[in-house]
Structure 1
Amino acid sequence: MEVHFIDVGQADSILIESGGKYMLVDAGTNEDGELVVDYLKKEGVSKLDYVIATHPHEDHIGDMDDVINSFSIGTVFMPDVTHTTQTFEDVLTAISGQNLEITIPQVGEQYTIGEASFVILAPNSDDYGTQLNNYSIGIKLVNGNNSFLMCGDAEKEAEHDILKNGIDIKAQVYKVSHHGSNTATTEEFLDAVSPEYAVIECGQDNDYGHPNKETLDKFKARGIEVFRTDMNGTVVAESDGTNITWSSEK
């Protein structure tokens, strides 16, 4: 299994490949243009068995309409929350234009992708008000003894609810929520995940100060190895079910 943390600047996009099956989690910004589509084509993708739009913010679904219009699509997962932006409307238009339906995932559901599987961890509430980040779809991806946790932009409140749902979230690799912001990755949550590696998707010299020093210090204190797309470029984790090997390409 391969997990590609694609360098899309101050945004998220993750391609997962297992046994000839593909899944895309988020798709960068509008400004990324064809970047995500081109990367997927370079990797030989013709069909995406699963597409996850973690939440409706532009830095996660910006290029999703192009992706949906460029590949054969299986299941589209989106949380049960809307957003009054052109970007969000464009994604809905692409979905209906391809005669696809939106699947609202339920916590605890399990799905297989090739030789791997993933379980839905979040969202655990439909009552986060206007805090769209907290509606982020969270998954734990498992391939043999290797595991990856990714929860979009889930912030402290959502992390608290994930901890309460009783699903084991311990994982070797943690895709750092909300680009390394200090609004996410509480000590309690990080200790439950207890990762060996953390991957931060963020843009070089971004306006938000991501990743936050406080977050980086938490990783340092625990001896967690950190990869950053602003420094490393696209980061690829290759899992054989026992070991994870890393490569990056700027």
Structure 2
Amino acid sequence: MKKRSYLPMILFVTMLISLVGIYVLLDYGIVGVEKSSEVTRIQSVNKPVKVHFIDIGQGDSILIEVLDKKILIDAGEKEHAQTIIDYLGTYDVEKLDLVFLTHPHEDHIGGMGEVLSAFEIGEFYMPEKELVTRSYQRMTDALIEKGKTIKYLKGGMKFEFGETIKLDILSPNKESYMNPNNYSPIMRLSIGNNAFVFTGDAEEIVETEVIRTGAELSADVLKAPHHGSKTSSSVPFLEKVSPTYIVVTSELGNDHNLPSPEILERYGVIGARTLLTEEMGSIVFGADGKEVIPLTN
């Protein structure tokens, strides 16, 4: 009788153990993928503020590096959660000091639960608007697990980072809106003579509301409201902001046909340079109070 050879089984088991071992090492950061030259170059730029518009298709996720603080605005859809987690990890993010959710629509809240679970969290803020969805539940479960509570955003709030850097919350200024998009806070991050304006999916009604408050709106960079939809980017608002750059977070061939060609034309009329994540991938800026420069090509 021939003896059974156990060599193939031994080789298979050895390979399986090796694969599991590599996975564990990667997962716990013991070994890792070498950073790209692009990431290394961006990290080497000495600017007190860097703003990353992360490419996650039709959705928003923005990383703001302010001095030694890390701020996240929104977390896209659930399917993009790992993309965001990986992106933050690539830039050595271990703690999110501030996390903002602009409003509870899927392309902004979908990945929030997973992202919150992956990092140490400081404070979490959102407008006082709840939608009963699985994404909202995952987010609240993650906050409970982290021992964090939701703090509510309102117009007039201010966050300061040193003497010359501050984040002004310009909306919401009403208790309720019919469309959840309009709970999106319009936020202005100022660094000396430079500024960024973030808008979530705020529509024209909120743009007008903020203009009427008399708040300063001028900025070097504007995050296109509502992904370049015709519901937003009113002419008076664009004239008040008067941006040099407008960043549109969008996905090629998306179901919403955004950004609107009409709005893109409007951006051109005011002389802004329009940058689309669907064309450029993630878009990064650096600012030092004297100038804002694109850090991605």
TM-score category of the 2 structures, normalised to the smaller one: over 0.9
CA offsets 1:222-249 (integer angstroms, 9 cap, x no match):
1101111000100000112211111337
SS, match of residue 107 in structure 1: coil
Q: Which of 64, 81, 84 is equivalent to 1:33? A: 81
Q: Which of 89, 92, 97 is equivalent to 2:140? A: 92
Quick check: 2:220–2:292 contact (8 Å CA) kept in 1?
no
State, as a whole percentage, how many aligned pairs show the same letter: 38
Rounded Cα–Cα distance in structure 2 between residues aligned with 1:194 and 1:78: 27
Q: Which deviates the most, 109-118 or 67-76?
A: 109-118
Q: Which of 50, 71, 92 is equivalent to 1:44? A: 92
1:49 positional shift: 1.0
1:117 positional shift: 1.4
User: Does 1:143 pair with 2:191?
Assistant: yes
What letter corresponds to residue 224 of structure 1 in structure 2? A
Residue of structure 2 in register with 1:8 after alignment: 56
Q: Which of 190, 214, 235 is equivalent to 1:187? A: 235
What letter corresponds to residue 276 of structure 2 in structure 1? R
Rounded Cα–Cα distance in structure 1 between residues aligned with 2:131 and 2:203: 18
TM-score by length of 2: 0.81
1:151 positional shift: 1.2
Residue of structure 1 in register with 2:27 after alignment: none
Residue of structure 1 in register with 2:172 after alignment: 123
Quick check: 1:108–1:167 contact (8 Å CA) kept in 2?
no
Aligned residues: 248
SS, match of residue 134 in structure 1: helix
Rounded Cα–Cα distance in structure 2 between residues aligned with 1:202 and 1:145: 29
Larger radius of gyration: 2
What letter corresponds to residue 5 of structure 1 in structure 2? F
SS, match of residue 95 in structure 1: helix
> Per chain length, whose mean CA-contact separation is higher, i.e. which structure has more relative contact order (CA < 8 Å, sep 6+)?
1
Quick check: 1:107–1:123 contact (8 Å CA) kept in 2?
yes
CA offsets 1:187-213 (integer angstroms, 9 cap, x no match):
111111111110000111111111101
Pairs within 5 Å for 1:170-209: 170-209=218-257
Q: Which of 188, 192, 207 is equivalent to 1:159? A: 207
1:127 positional shift: 2.3
Quick check: 2:218–2:243 contact (8 Å CA) kept in 1?
yes
Rounded Cα–Cα distance in structure 1 between residues aligned with 2:120 and 2:95: 5
SS, match of residue 164 in structure 1: helix
Rounded Cα–Cα distance in structure 1 between residues aligned with 2:292 and 2:100: 23
What letter corresponds to residue 38 of structure 1 in structure 2? D
Q: CA RMSD in A?
A: 1.2
Rounded Cα–Cα distance in structure 1 between residues aligned with 2:280 and 2:146: 35
SS, match of residue 32 in structure 1: helix
SS, match of residue 48 in structure 1: strand
SS, match of residue 87 in structure 1: helix
Q: Which of 98, 108, 113 is equivalent to 1:65? A: 113
| Uncovered stretches (5+) of structure 1, i.e. residues with no partner | none
Higher strand share: 1
What letter corresponds to residue 121 of structure 1 in structure 2? L
SS, match of residue 170 in structure 2: strand
CA offsets 1:16-43 (integer angstroms, 9 cap, x no match):
0021210000011111131111111111
Rounded Cα–Cα distance in structure 2 between residues aligned with 1:248 and 1:85: 36
1:214 positional shift: 1.1
